[in-house]
Chain A
Amino acid sequence: MTGLLSVRDLRVGFGAHPEDNEVVHGVSFDLGPGETLAIVGESGSGKSVTAMAINRLVDFGGGRITGGQIEFAAGDGSVSDLARAEENMLETIRGREIGMIFQEPMTSLNPVLTVGTQIEEVFRLQHGMTRADARIAAREALERVRIPDAARRLTYAPHQLSGGMLQRVMIAIALAGNPRLLIADEPTTALDVTIQAQILGLLAELKRDTDTGMIFITHDIGLVAGFADRVMVMQEGRVVEQGPLDRVLDAPEHPYTRHLLEAVPHFSDGKSARRDGARGGGARTALDVEGLSVRFPVRSGLLKRHSGNVHAVEGVSFDLMRGETLGIVGESGSGKSTTARAILGLETPARGRIETGDAGEAGRPVQMVFQNPNASLNPRLTVEQILAEPYIAVGRRIDADARARMAGLLERVELPQGSLARYPHEFSGGQRQRLCIARALMLNPSVLVLDEAVSALDVSVQARVLDLLVDLQKEFHLAYLFVTHDMAVVERIAHRIAVVFAGQIVEIGPTAEVLANPRHSYTRQLIAAVPSLERRHSAFSVDTSAIPSLVRPVGWEPAPVPWAEAGADHRFRAEG
């Protein structure tokens, strides 16, 4: 063995009879020092189990290695087979030789200890440092992962730091042992796209500076183009293809790799924007929002005095035509979901006007599809009861006509016959989201608000639901308000895009125009952060600027920011 890690015919099973419940069926790969291997696959492909088998964390999840070798070259030059190693030996390997970063930084840290204490603990345990030395080392570790003002941040509890900061802390902890191998399991999936770019930039930088080998697990094949050396594609516990990055992306051999590359929406700077249904004469307005503001009161002190407001949405205006999709893009906390909820009446606007083009069949022209189909369907109701609810809500009876409409809609969203008597848990995630779409269409609305409606779905399911949405839009002449953080998805479905930052729309215009020719600095930043297949071997820059606070004193009013025109129907906020 010449490299750092050599995995041969690895097999992992679960449960009392691991041989019968095998989820990883013979995986082999090699990794050299300083090399990055990306393992790509959808949920259930065995990618995480494979990685967890390497440091044997899989043992704690009820898994057992049933066959194969994992040869790992430790720092002192000795090579050992981790598949057969004893727990005592593994404890010296984990952290010191193999570091790991998980998907959820929030749940990976102990909430009652300060960040500093938790990093110091690693240094004291693994390097036998004294308390004072560990404190200095912890500060240096935070500086290494580019956390500004590191000395002060050491005293923070995890809940006082943002998700991106916490993930950097996790990386600092993983790097504290100077591991020769770093396993990153979807480390950026829970983060915003600009934060994701920063974390990726950081990992690429650390890889350059040290000689750490890295295994990067992701469901997004576009994400790895920027920094992986080799790609391994997994499906149902088997490796379907592996090879150098450029070879796999440019000349994929296996049909599943081709499917992943094609079916998954990839961002392409507005080149794959929709060309149909541009605004022409005679289009009817479906939704008109003017100066919408939503504020949440902040109460503080002993008497719960109203001390300020969170200006979640501030002066948002747009209009939406029948048959048109407006994509609202922004990061978490930008106010995009609050805007959607205010339009549905789930939040009370502080001011502003929301008008719909027509009253709709039942006085409810706007309907909504939520992000998580598991949470938005009552688990104790049958599909028939779920679909009947909008009808009952507007005082209609469930008669033969209603049943015919239910059956018709279920067929239209491609759910199997006989679904009416079944319960939500009997369906897959994609099917449940189709069910939510059918429910939203029961009252024949003119506007459908889709709040991250495909974000919780697996990538290939996502593509099929998007196709369905486009078909339904054409058939029923629906207007979509598509709220999302995913630039690649919005590029496919939106005719127009509104970019939201800190509660305000900073740029709005036709999709192709905004994405190809962004004018506002935040839009540019957002687009620059999106990973894409075309962006090879280019590290993202690490930006440490913070997002402004949205909490303002009572009575504060934003200074009006003038709009600047950037062509027909393309406007952006002028920047000082």
Chain B
Amino acid sequence: MEIPKTFQPAQAEQRWYSHWLQKGYFRSVPDEREPYTIVIPPPNVTGVLHMGHMLNNTLQDVMIRRARMLGKNACWVPGTDHASIATEAKVVQMLREKGIRKADLSREEFLRYAWEWKEKYGGIILEQLKKLGASCDWDRTRFTMEEDLSEAVIDVFIDLHRKGYIYRGLRMVNWDPAGLTAISDEEVIHKEVQSKLVYVRYVLVGPDEPFDATDATAVQRKFDAGESITIATVRPETILGDTAVCVHPDDPRYAHLRGKQAIIPMVNRRVPVIFDDYILMEFGTGALKVTPAHDINDYTLGTKHGLEVIDTLNADGTMSEAAGHYVGEDRFVVRKRIVKDLDALGHIVKVEDYTNKVGYSERTDAVIEPRLSMQWFVRMKEFSKPALDAVLNGEVKLHPEKFVNTSRTSLDPAG
């Protein structure tokens, strides 16, 4: 027989893969042999093969093929994950092409379309894995939205709820105003940017002191008398949501302010001056505006001091009704406009160039907005303990071992 001069991969890959399938070598049924099983970390049903998949599926295939050759009953279970946000985006796009609006559909109708999309376009990635040579038991392919798997998820949810592990609460999330979704810490890219640090002065009044903040001469009199406090901010548009001004309890400059109130400009809201050692005396003026709805640290301060939470932004990053000014305008437009308007009212002390780090969405490159959102939580204390113990005592082994430490922090709520 004539031996070709060079190996022809494309041809051989196709030929041998079909041969292996036809011979049923990937199929596994329990028998007397020692089992060796891998459950694929299911790729998204909407996914297409990327280099990360290449790496982890090559590794799995190497392990499965060697186990098979060692005479073990090797079984690699494939499947896809329904990844609801990504899938929903695909379905909505398909509906748009058909001229259907998601809002016009009932939940059941929408789900029917979701399944239609999945049957037609989903799971391309599994076909791509075959090109890589993945020797999965394709007869066992699963999809996480299958009826019994969904059923199991609901059962577990109910069970955890009955055990009292599940609760809801308002929490700060990384909000992507372009993608209109919360994203994980992992998906936030922090970049250094040039900003303006704006110094703004707020009028100070006694708790029962009558004062008309709309009276420009009265305001000017306060400034002239030094009865004001200056804060520094890179986000002046959030001033409209301020509900306190905070200083350090040991700061001699502000010791006389106990019991005083500050008046938030433009909205003319009286807010307390609070004292907390969270403040860095050296930063800016040593006085901090507190906006619990739009900053995670301010939110923590607010909870501690019982402050009001005023959410001045809409989901898409425009100003909300609650802001009282610039309603419907974009946060970045307002950031510039409010400085001009505050200046006209005599509140701006100075503006400095300032370099700071800002979080961007990995998906849309929009600037992330810390946003309060009602979230579901699971109390992990009791739930994670057996898992943590198993990892620490080696009943479940992590490879490489250095990840045992990582798991200690992720599985141990106190860790």
- Same complex for A and B? Answer no
